């Protein structure tokens, strides 16, 4: 009489299946949300729709990951839930901004002068500063960081091991992939030749996410970076 043997399911098999399912989920969700966003932007010439396109896309980038996480019964663990963590995120954001923005300003200024041959730098004002901040925070930075650094990076970091530690953050291949997808996504929705350069600030957004454990610092830095670029471009043009 032969004993019946059950299939041997190892922890590695379970992890492999989980990782494959996460990659499949991320691929489907990301392709779908970018395709829908692209279709929406194709109708930006429609008068009654053009004023709301950015808001519609922002809601899409917030609603879709929330629904996916709810259906998959995964928690939204990338939001800061206590005051201590929130203040720590603000502190790290401020330190990063103080270090990065002066360096970026100098390099961007040299680029305009040496490469672009632009020397007519004039300090621009900010007559609509409050509306600009609200738009960049609520319509741009919040939904993009919620999707890419919150949903996407959190999931893909479960697929690829974070092997390297840099300035208090554990980094891995998922960090790089998220930055690539983030930069590529901008050109899918609306193409600009310089979108490749978005990869570099995306690395910093991802680092802040991993360094602080939440998306508060990435949201604040993303908002500040967009406002800074808005101001800087008006200083030359």
Rounded distance between C-alpha atoms, residue 88 and residue 77, angstroms: 16
The strand ranges marked E within the chain are: 164-166, 169-171
**Strands 164-166 and 169-171, bridge-based pairing:** antiparallel
Task: Give the CA radius of gyration of the chain.
Answer: 21
pLDDT digits (tens, 9 = 90+) for 9-21: 555 555 578 888 8
| Per-state percent for the chain, helix, strand, coil, to nearest 5 | 75, 5, 25
- Residues near 174 by Cβ (< 8 Å), separated by ≥ 6? 153, 156, 157, 159, 160, 162
pTM of the model: 0.86
How confident is the model over 124-166, as pLDDT tens digits?
Answer: 777 788 889 999 999 999 999 999 999 999 999 999 888 888 8
> Is it the case that residue 237 has pLDDT exceeding 80?
no
Which of 106-115, 129-138, 213-222 is predicted least confidently? 106-115
Residue 1 half-sphere exposure toward CB, CA atoms < 13 A? 1
pLDDT at 154: 94
Query: How far lies 236's CA from each of 198, 219, 232, in Å?
Result: 20, 26, 7
Q: Mean of the per-residue pLDDT values for the chain?
A: 87
Predicted local distance difference test score (pLDDT) of residue 15: 57
* pLDDT confidence band for 195 (50 / 70 / 90): confident
Give the CA dihedral 113, 119, 125, 128, nearest 10 degrees.
-60
């Amino acid at each position: 009489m032969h004993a019946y043997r059950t299939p041997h399911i190892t922890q590695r098999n379970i992890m492999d299946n989980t990782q494959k399912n996460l990659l499949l989920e991320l691929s489907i969700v990301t392709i779908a949300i970018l395709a829908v966003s692209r279709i929406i932007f194709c109708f930006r010439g429609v008068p009654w729709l053009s004023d709301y396109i950015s808001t519609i896309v922002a809601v899409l980038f917030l609603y879709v990951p929330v629904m996916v996480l709810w259906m998959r019964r995964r928690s939204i663990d990338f939001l800061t839930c206590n005051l201590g963590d929130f203040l720590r995120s603000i502190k790290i954001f401020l330190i990063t901004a103080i270090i990065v923005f002066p360096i970026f300003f100098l390099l961007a200024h040299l680029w305009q002068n040496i490469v672009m041959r632009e020397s007519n730098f004039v300090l621009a004002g900010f007559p609509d500063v409050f509306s600009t901040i609200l738009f960049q925070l609520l319509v741009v930075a919040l939904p993009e960081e919620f999707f890419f650094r919150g949903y996407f990076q959190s999931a893909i970091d479960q697929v690829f091991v974070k092997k390297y530690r840099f300035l208090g953050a554990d980094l891995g291949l998922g960090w790089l992939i998220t930055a690539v997808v983030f930069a590529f996504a901008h050109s899918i929705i609306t193409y600009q030749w310089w979108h490749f350069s978005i990869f570099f600030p995306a690395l910093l957004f991802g680092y802040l996410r991993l360094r602080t454990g939440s998306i508060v610092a990435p949201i604040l830095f993303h908002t500040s970076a967009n406002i800074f670029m808005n101001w800087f471009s008006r200083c030359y043009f």
